[in-house]
Amino acid sequence: MPIEVVRASAPVGAEIHGVNLVAPLSPEGFAEIERLFNEHGVVYFRRQFLSPGQLLDFTGHFGEQALNTFAETHGVPGHPGVVVVSNIEQGGRDIGVKRAGERWHSDMCYTAKPPRGTILCAHEVPVQDGLTLGDTCFAATHAAYDGLPDVMKQRIEGLRAVFDFAGRVRAVPVTPAQRAAFPPVTHPLVRTHPFTGRKCLYVMRDDCTGIEGMDAGAAQLLIAALADHIIRPEYVYRHRWEPGDVLLWDNCTVQHMAIQDYDLPLRRLMYRTTFAADQPPM
Ligand code: SIN
């Protein structure tokens, strides 16, 4: 069956039809998926229901895995690299990362080489009286850059943003081991996408704690202004999950946020993998 693509009515997001991710992927089939991934920033396939092992196999096509910060504490036993994202509790403990990604962010931006992409496979999706909850929103950082006035593009050219895992307020206190593992890093505030060459804004509230060479007050003002600009409605694709969805996003082209509008007894269960970038942001 030939691959068909249906674009979302947003600058990112496309559904790919005609692929069975459970079956082995040919090199040509994967090349087409990768091309669509680079072009659309967020791509998804319905009705796949990948097991953790199958999800790892699919992720492996993109190259080396990037171990997520939560892999040790919330990994699937026997499948290192597959993180459970869920609100489900079993025997009095959380089976996965709860309330993951509830603020706008780009995965592991506080590391020297953030992952190129992330994959989520939905197994359980909360539904209340026929209404699906727990959507995920994706903001197009290239469209947001393109939409800036020229004077702002000139102002931010060459700036580097500071990302400090320990420097922001977190729901769970930062451990000494995390502090040692994630020292502050800087990345270009305007990144060039390694495959498309498009310029993308790489700045967000919380994780981004400053701008190199700029005083704290001015930096916070600029970070807030750009962060708000990126998530304007015209740049956002909102994904309504169905059980069996496999969705991939590009951590340069998009920022994302998971909507936490559900709670137990409504259950949400996702498996997540991340794959590495070849190089640090440029
Ligand atoms: C995440 O930020 O990785 C979680 C996204 C989601 O659960 O929808």
| Domain of residue 168, CATH code | 3.60.130.10
What per-residue confidence (pLDDT) applies to 75?
Answer: 81
Averaged pLDDT, 217-222: 96
Averaged pLDDT, 238-244: 98
What per-residue confidence (pLDDT) applies to 7?
Answer: 97
Instruction: Decide if 27 is inside a domain.
Output: yes
What per-residue confidence (pLDDT) applies to 166?
Answer: 83
What is the C-alpha to C-alpha distance for residues 16 and 223, in angstroms, rounded to an integer? 34
User: Is the N-terminal amide bond of 243 cis, ω within 30° of 0?
Assistant: no
What per-residue confidence (pLDDT) applies to 71?
Answer: 65
Instruction: Decide if 282 is inside a domain.
Output: no
> pLDDT per residue over 48-88, tens digit each?
999 999 999 999 999 888 876 666 678 888 888 899 999 99
What is the C-alpha to C-alpha distance for residues 166 and 149, in angstroms, rounded to an integer? 33
Q: What's the Cα-to-Cα distance from 212 to each of 32, 42, 94, 160, rounded to whole Å? A: 39, 30, 39, 6
Nearest to 66 by CA among 53, 49, 83, 78: 83
Query: Cα(269) to centroid of ligand 1, in Å?
Result: 11
Instruction: Decide if 266 is inside a domain.
Output: yes
- The answer to whether residue 168 scores a pLDDT higher than 90 is no
Query: Cα(101) to centroid of ligand 1, in Å?
Result: 5
Q: Determine how many CB atoms are found less than 10 A away from the CB of residue 122.
A: 25
Instruction: Decide if 224 is inside a domain.
Output: yes
Percent of the chain with pLDDT over 90: 79
Q: How many domains does the chain have?
A: 1
Domain ranges, residue 156:
4-275
- The answer to whether residue 175 scores a pLDDT higher than 90 is no
Q: Give the atom of ligand 1 at the shortest distance from the alpha carbon of 268.
A: 7
Instruction: Decide if 268 is inside a domain.
Output: yes
Residue 72 burial (10 A CB sphere; 0-12, 13-18, 19+): exposed
Instruction: Decide if 207 is inside a domain.
Output: yes
- The answer to whether residue 171 scores a pLDDT higher than 90 is no
Residues β-bridged to residue 4: 17
Which residue among 83, 85, 135, 236 is best mutated to probe the pocket of ligand 1, counting the most ligand atoms within 8 A of its Cβ? 85
CA atoms 205, 221, 229, 150: torsion sign: negative
Name the range with the highest mean pLDDT among 78-92, 96-110, 227-241: 227-241
What per-residue confidence (pLDDT) applies to 172?
Answer: 73
CB of 14 sitting under 6 A from ligand 1: no
- Average of per-residue pLDDT values in the chain: 93
The better pLDDT of the pair 181, 7 is held by 7
Strands of 99-207, DSSP E:
117-124, 127-128, 131-132, 136-140, 160-163, 185-188, 190-192, 199-201
Query: Cα(100) to centroid of ligand 1, in Å?
Result: 5
Token pair, residue 3, equals 């691959």
Which residues, 6 or more positions from 228, have their beta carbon under 8 angstroms from its beta carbon? none
Instruction: Decide if 205 is inside a domain.
Output: yes
What is the C-alpha to C-alpha distance for residues 53 and 162, in angstroms, rounded to an integer? 36
What per-residue confidence (pLDDT) applies to 122?
Answer: 98
Percent of the chain with pLDDT over 70: 97
> pLDDT per residue over 111-165, tens digit each?
999 999 999 999 999 999 999 999 999 999 999 999 999 999 999 999 999 999 8
Instruction: Decide if 280 is inside a domain.
Output: no
Residue with tokens 């920022």: 255
